Amino acid sequence: MARIIGALTSSHIPSIGNAISNGKQDDPYWKPFFDGYEPVLRWLDEQKPDVAVVLYNDHGLNFFLNNLPTFAVGAAQEYVTKDEGWGLPVFPPYRGYPEMSWHLIESLVEQEFDIAMCQEMAMDHAFINPMRLFWPGQNPPKIKTIPVAINTVQFPLPRPSRCYALGQAIGRAVESWPGDEKVVVIGTGGMSHQLDGERAGFINKKFDEMCMETLLNDPQRLAKYSSLELVREAGAQGAEIIMWLAARGALHGRVSKIHSSYHIPISNTAAGVLALANH
Ligand code: DHB
Ligand code: FE
């Protein structure tokens, strides 16, 4: 049986990609942000997971407003990377794991999640930047990946409770896979931010701290928010915290914190990383 060893959640702000490419990790602006990942990198180095299920949001690269699935699961041999306009570097494709993807898809549909299934999917900053943060210098890393896209672009967004339930269903699906792989679930996006409109630059540190605490100890509490309440509390794009909630949902065991770090600002955004172990 495959084992979920933990959930890693991280911001995916595009400028992180350029900071990595330009070697800015020790620059005074960036150092506190990158230092926040060190304990997580040590944990990854010890644990050496085989598969990453990556819950992220596509920002118009695969799916545009004319054709936008709520939940989409990748089932490709590999995932090409593309820059949707941030001047980010493009890397060789990430490794897929179609056999396990199809198992997830079958299990999710059986659990009444009528997801879109994608045999082709290109990855944007929301997938690539967290992967570069967690596997630095490996473009791409050896780990097999299964991307799961959650709509946070066009309303109506899926309810936070539905995203949490999706994560729980992914947890059950992974744990019914007959292989003995170690699986890490990654959730990307957040934390509080709003990129446009009257509240551009909006950040809510208190809410972000509550999210970090609640994701560890009481995820159901965060799952009770509506999407609009998340927008009010975290900003229009801060609603991306639903990917963190979905990743947390996949942890069925006793959960402990490996590490968390929170830093304001990167770009216009509150940047955070939270790593949870599943026992
Ligand atoms: C920024 C943050 C995002 O989540 C995103 O998708 C694009 C830009 C930013 O803070 O610049
Ligand atoms: Fe985003």
Can you state the percent helix, strand and coil of the chain, rounding each to 5? 35, 25, 40
| Closest to 245 in 3D by CA, of 261, 278, 221 | 221
259 a catalytic residue: no
Domain that holds residue 257: 3-278
Q: What is the pLDDT of residue 108?
A: 98
103 a catalytic residue: no
Q: Which residues line ligand 1 (CB under 6 A)?
A: 12-14, 59, 189, 193, 195, 237, 240, 267-269
Distance CA 60, CA 50 (A): 29
Q: What is the pLDDT of residue 86?
A: 92
CATH number of the domain that residue 150 is part of: 3.40.830.10
In eight-state DSSP terms, residue 26 is: T
Q: Which amino acid is at 74?
A: G
Distances from the Cα of 109 to the Cαs of 3, 67, 112, 117, 221, in angstroms? 21, 20, 5, 10, 26
* The pTM of the whole model exceeds 0.85: yes
Q: How far apart are the first and last CA of the chain?
A: 15
Domain count, the chain: 1
pLDDT profile of the chain (279 residues), mean per 10: 97 97 97 98 98 98 95 98 91 97 98 98 97 96 98 97 98 97 98 97 98 98 98 98 98 96 97 98
Distance CA 219, CA 250 (A): 11
Distance CA 27, CA 23 (A): 9
Ligand lying closest to the C-alpha of residue 13:
1
Which residue CA neighbors atom 2 of ligand 1 most closely?
A: 13
Q: Kindly report the length of the chain.
A: 279
Distances from the Cα of 268 to the Cαs of 107, 192, 251, in angstroms? 39, 9, 31
* C-alpha 24 to ligand 2 mean position (Å): 21
Distance CA 198, CA 195 (A): 10
Q: Which of 12, 59, 125, 259 is catalytic?
A: 125
Q: What is the pLDDT of residue 254?
A: 96
Long-range contacts, 67-70 (Cβ 8 Å, 24+): 68/151, 68/153, 68/154, 69/115, 69/116, 69/149, 69/151, 70/150, 70/151, 70/158
Q: Which of 12, 103, 193, 259 is catalytic?
A: 193
